[in-house]
Structure 1
């Protein structure tokens, strides 16, 4: 999780100029998740949305499979990921919590479909300054393929 300076998300040029890790942590995590699912459909992962409790910010979407999750950090054990996410969010927003909601993959790249979920409003890849999907695909090149059965990420 990153907290951006005021106005960055509303300025397409400043948003696009963010380092990849920050870009995919603060507003484009759903695009990274979609690219991951498309590249490795055999991994058995699915989109998982962390919807903040009412009155809080800090949405996040990851690719989740039994035994691991994937986001801009790379692969993590689910319990370690949740503990890290909760601790970091609570530093910025005391009392923060989130509900975990499974999403169908097509929601990740459809603004209209995302709006059918309370509290979710996702940009489509082409709604960024440039198409964010090729950027996500290039970012994925930094990581190995998904863990095999029985593998436990660090």
Structure 2
């Protein structure tokens, strides 16, 4: 799957206001904008025998993370599957046309959600954890 900037899939005002409408998007848009953090944590948890990290993108100088993804070696996993992290960073930088910061994310999902004002799994219309597990399993990792 080709690398595409997360911002290309931003939710509409209607999708932001209506969880059912947001939930009914196809998987790639759903995990690009609105549930990327869920996908990243599930990816890390799917491979406990690998040193999977978590990273986030934010606009330079800002505190709020707008995209979260999993990392392994020089690879990144997000809504576009596994791709070289450099390609993911370049695609997002080109799309946003403003400086971005990449940050390492530590801690658990609940703490991240509280700090970044992201939805926790129980705040979605359906079960995003099961949906994310299915999505991760459809994208073979680079070491496979």
The TM-score, its normalising length taken from structure 1, stands at: 0.79
Q: 1:50 to 1:35 in 2, by over 3 A?
A: same
The equivalent residue for 2:60 is: 53
Q: Do the aligned partners of 1:68 and 1:77 also contact (CA within 8 Å) in 2?
A: yes
Q: Do the aligned partners of 2:60 and 2:101 also contact (CA within 8 Å) in 1?
A: yes
Q: Do the aligned partners of 2:20 and 2:125 also contact (CA within 8 Å) in 1?
A: yes
SS of 2:30's equivalent in the other structure is helix
1:67-120 deviation line (CA, Å, top 9, x unaligned): 111111011112111111111222xxxxx22211111251x2x1x54333xxx2
The equivalent residue for 1:79 is: 86
| Equivalent of 2:104 in 89, 102, 105 | 102
| Equivalent of 1:18 in 22, 25, 29 | 25
Q: Which has the larger radius of gyration?
A: 1
CA distance in 2, matches of 1:104, 1:58: 13
The equivalent residue for 1:143 is: 139
Segments of structure 2 that go 5 or more residues without pairing to the other structure are: 1-5
**RMSD over aligned Cα, in angstroms?**
2.2
Q: Do the aligned partners of 2:42 and 2:133 also contact (CA within 8 Å) in 1?
A: yes
The equivalent residue for 2:121 is: 125
SS of 2:119's equivalent in the other structure is coil
Q: Do the aligned partners of 1:58 and 1:89 also contact (CA within 8 Å) in 2?
A: no
1:9-30 deviation line (CA, Å, top 9, x unaligned): 2211101111111000011001
Runs of 4+ in 1 over 6 A off after TM superposition: 55-58
The TM-score, its normalising length taken from structure 2, stands at: 0.84
Q: CA deviation at 1:34?
A: 0.9
Q: 1:105 to 1:24 in 2, by over 3 A?
A: farther
The structure where helix makes up a greater share of residues is 2
